Amino acid sequence: MYEVEVKIPAELEAVRDRLEALEATRRGSVVQADTYYNAPHRDFAETDEALRIRSERPADGPEETHVTYKGPLVDEETKTREEFETGVENDETIDAILTSLGFEATATVRKDRERFSLNGYTVTLDSVDGVGEYVEVETEVADESNLETAREGAYDVLERLGHDPDDQLQTSYLGLLLES
């Protein structure tokens, strides 16, 4: 599975208004805490990979926890990368497993997220502690043959929201947090 993602800094209130005008479907809000790990056998900052535990609390439901591996970027235009994710029952247990294997927690990124659907894409409004406000447009595709079409569609959604795809950032929230 590949995640095709475009992310730009944005004033969230203006994007929210534009989403309403475009009749986007609201998908809810969550608070996420993403704890990132580095491997004992290679430096993920050098290989452009990521391993994280995400604890997510929806506004209207119980907390969920997932562990996610993200491979290196597959293009220079967007944040497209191969991604594997699975649910886990307990964030403390998976943290204990990873640290027992020599993985080290490097930082935790906390964000408030609002999700919308528009033209088959997920539009996420992120307020990231210590980093700022961003909008992400993303979708998933099963194989590389669909990446270009998905990327162009994400650019189209971003333009419909009144933003220029050339303003996108490829730096992760973790990278932005560590830079600040």
**Which residues are catalytic, by number?**
36
- The architecture (CATH level 2) of 2-179 comes to Beta Barrel (2.40)
Locate the domains of the chain by residue range.
Answer: 2-179
pLDDT digits (tens, 9 = 90+) for 100-151: 999 999 999 999 999 999 999 999 999 999 999 999 999 999 888 888 899 9
| Residues with Cβ within 8 Å of residue 140, at least 6 apart in sequence | 1, 2, 3, 4, 83
Q: What is the pTM of this model?
A: 0.86
Looking at residue 155, its pLDDT comes to: 96
Q: How many other C-beta atoms lie within 10 A of the C-beta of residue 97? A: 12
pLDDT digits (tens, 9 = 90+) for 34-85: 999 999 999 998 999 999 999 999 988 899 999 999 999 887 777 788 999 9
Distances (CA, A) of 134 to 9, 148, 160, 163, 176: 4, 23, 16, 12, 12
Closest CA to 38 of 109, 105, 98: 105
Both tokens of 36, joined, read 């990132």
